[in-house]
Amino acid sequence: MQTKDSAPTDWLDRALARWPGVPATYGWLSLDARGRWCLQGAAATHDGLRRFLSQHFREDARGAWYVQNGPQQVYVDLATAPHVAARDGEGRWVSHTGVTLAHIEALILDEEARLYFLCELGLVGLDDRDWPGLLAELGPDTGPGTGALALDEELLELSGQPGGETSCRWRERQLTVRSVHSRDMEGCFGFQRSPRG
């Protein structure tokens, strides 16, 4: 029986010892663009199941993300990025795994003007329901290189120019904004959207 003081991997070590060589599973579990867990395409609705999936979400050496389910690795198809964040009731950005984002380094746009943060978790997709609030907080950068376009128009234009970069003001600081085509996200940020064995 695992006690409160047991190492967090005790249960995993015991499961692997009892059932060695359990093959990994692919194409069964996914994470959608709003950070919802989906089992064979259907959103998981049970709170306990969602908590379990979020607590056991890990990355392997290939940049493929999986959920450790006892001795089995259940690989996750990612709609956008390995993590998805939404605003909580206090205005903080929180990932689907419950981590509050603390160090946002850059804003990333893809060719469809989808928004992502680059932060301590790596690339984090943003729930589209929170885009308007974020965009309302962004202001033009007063430094050199700011075009004459309004910021929202500038960002829309930038999204069509993969490799482009600009900056804006957010929360009293300068924030770099980069444009990366969705097909290049995996290579640029080191993850696999649809891992297979």
* 53-56, Cβ contacts within 8 angstroms, sequence gap of 24 or more: 53/29, 54/96, 54/97, 54/98, 55/97
In single-letter form, the type of residue at position 105 comes to E
Task: Assign 15 a pLDDT band (cuts: 50, 70, 90).
Answer: low
Handedness of CA 150, 152, 153, 155 (dihedral sign): positive
Percent of the chain with pLDDT over 90: 70
What confidence score (pLDDT) does residue 153 get?
81
> Domains (ranges, CATH) in the chain?
10-78 (3.10.540.10), 83-189 (no CATH)
Q: Which pLDDT tens digit goes with each residue over 51-65? A: 999 999 999 999 999
Closest CA to 155 of 171, 141, 166: 166
What's the whole-number mean pLDDT along residues 91-115?
96
Q: Which pLDDT tens digit goes with each residue over 109-165? A: 999 999 999 999 999 999 999 999 999 898 887 654 443 346 778 888 888 888 999
Taking CA atoms, 110 is separated from 49, 89, 178, in Å, by 31, 27, 9
Specify whether the CB–CB gap between 64 and 192 falls below 8 A: yes
Spatial separation of the C-alpha atoms in residues 64 and 127, rounded to whole Å: 21
Q: Three-state SS for 173?
A: strand
Look up tokens 């990333």; give the residue: 108
